[in-house]
Amino acid sequence: MSQLVEDLCRRLAAKERVAVVGGNTKSFLGGQLLDEPVSMLEHSGIVNYEPTELVLTAKSGTSLRDIESCLKDARQMLPFEPPQFGAETTIGGVMASGLSGPRRIHLGSARDCVLGVRLINGLGQHLKFGGEVMKNVAGYDLSRLSVGAYGTLGVLTEVSVKVLPIPDKERTQVVECSQAEAMETLTRFGSRPYPISAAAWVEGALSIRLSGAGSGVDSAAASIGGETRADTDQFWDSLRDLNHVQFDQENKWLWRVSVAPTTPSDAIDSFGFDWGGGLRWVKTDPEDFSLFQLAESLGGHATCFARERKSGTGMQPLEPGILRLNQRVKEAMDPFGLINRGRLLEGYH
């Protein structure tokens, strides 16, 4: 056990409050931490990686870049294409935020790909759940529960993730169209076996990425039609990392609205979508909470991605029954409310 992990265990066992971050590249998400954070960056290193087992295990402070470059050497990748909001993005932070990139609609989300975690709970106990195998149903799925929990259920110290081969070929077709037409097209394609690995509408055009065996990608591209993008990797990376020109914030502010992909385009005034319509990007004032009501009425949820939000967590308020269970789960993992106070459940630590 590293010194840092030992210290955190000791502090929590002594009922000291603890705040942890990875590279702190996503501090704009969720509420402000109420305690001075400790960085997990020094707790880094790939613990185990065997390409033919399709599993990688790394300490939580390991940088995403190191992991991706190691995977790339074996022609593999993280299936869920996690965003990188800065060079210091860590695998622990990726899992704590639970964010997934464009490929989410094809190969699943961060939570789908996690196989196991080690975490320190609020009693300062260092625990291991899940493991390094694809199928494992022993005990409650606390590994997946901890994905997207912003560290509030325990300090992640190690994660095991499923990895997959990099597709032989990737090609992006782009067609100019309205948002409504883009959604109609995707609904039509949805029942066909095209190897679609991403679908987004920005700048008045629908981009569809095809991935897989070369011949299959080319034949699907031929039947989909449109132009082939010359900048396929850069384009999807810029969407993934919110660097695309359309995310330029100026005086308005960025919100992410997650809804059923078939939600009509006129239901939300969005400037673009990813995840085949499941992720709508909206620019509006960070203090304008009407998006929460809109998202709720559509059965989805909104998150404020504005970097200069002044108050609150920017997260969709939970309905009473779900909030109560969230609070009880938090109490079960961190009974004294010591870890990452302020980050997630508003008004409840």
User: Site map for other proteins, 80-99, x if CB under 8 A?
Assistant: ------------------x-
Which residue number, 112 or 285, has a Cβ lying nearer to other proteins?
112
Name the DSSP class of 317: P
In the complex, least distance from residue 250 CB atom to other proteins, rounded to whole angstroms: 27
C-beta atoms surrounding 322 within 10 Å? 10
CB 162 within 8 A of CB 54: yes
Residues 114-153 that bind other proteins (CB under 8 A): 121, 123, 125, 127-129, 131-142, 144-145, 147-149, 153
**Interaction of residue 220 with other proteins, rule CB under 8 A:** yes
When asked if residue 111 is in the footprint of other proteins (CB under 8 A), the reply is yes
Of the candidates 198, 207, 111, 125, the residue with the CA atom closest to the CA atom of residue 159: 111
Question: Which of 43, 39, 1 lies closest to 20, judged by CA?
Answer: 39
Tokens linked to 4:
């840092």
Q: What is the footprint of other proteins within residues 227-256 (CB under 8 A)?
A: none
Q: Is residue 46 part of the contact set for other proteins (CB under 8 A)?
A: no
Is 27 an interacting residue with respect to other proteins (CB under 8 A)?
no
Helix H or strand E segment including 255: strand 254-258
Nearer to other proteins, 3 or 193 (CB): 193
Over the window 176 to 195, marking each residue x when it contacts other proteins by CB under 8 A and - when it does not, the resulting string is -----------x--xxxxxx
Q: Does 1 bind other proteins (CB under 8 A)?
A: no
Q: Which stretch binds other proteins (CB under 8 A): 3-11, 65-73, 170-178, 274-282?
A: 274-282
Structure tokens given for 281: 């990007």
Q: Which among 151, 68, 180 has a CA at the least distance from the CA of 330?
A: 151
* C-alpha count within 13 angstroms, C-beta hemisphere, residue 15: 2
Query: In sequence order, which ranges of the chain are alpha helices (DSSP H)?
Result: 3-13, 64-73, 91-97, 104-107, 110-113, 142-146, 179-190, 214-224, 232-240, 290-297, 320-333
The one among 279, 291, 304, 338 contacting other proteins by CB under 8 A: 279
Q: Report the amino acid identity of residue 206.
A: L
Residues from 292 through 311 that contact other proteins (CB under 8 A): 299-301, 303
Residue of the chain from 176, 311, 331, 336 that contacts other proteins (CB under 8 A): 331
Is there binding between residue 112 and other proteins (CB under 8 A)?
yes
From candidates 109, 157, 172, 232, binder to other proteins by CB under 8 A: 109
For 135, counting Cβ atoms within 10 Å of its Cβ (0-12 exposed, 13-18 middle, 19+ buried), the class is exposed
Q: How far is the CB of 233 from other proteins (least distance, A)?
A: 18
The reply on whether position 337 binds other proteins by CB under 8 A is no
Please, which of residues 62-81 interact with other proteins by CB under 8 A?
75
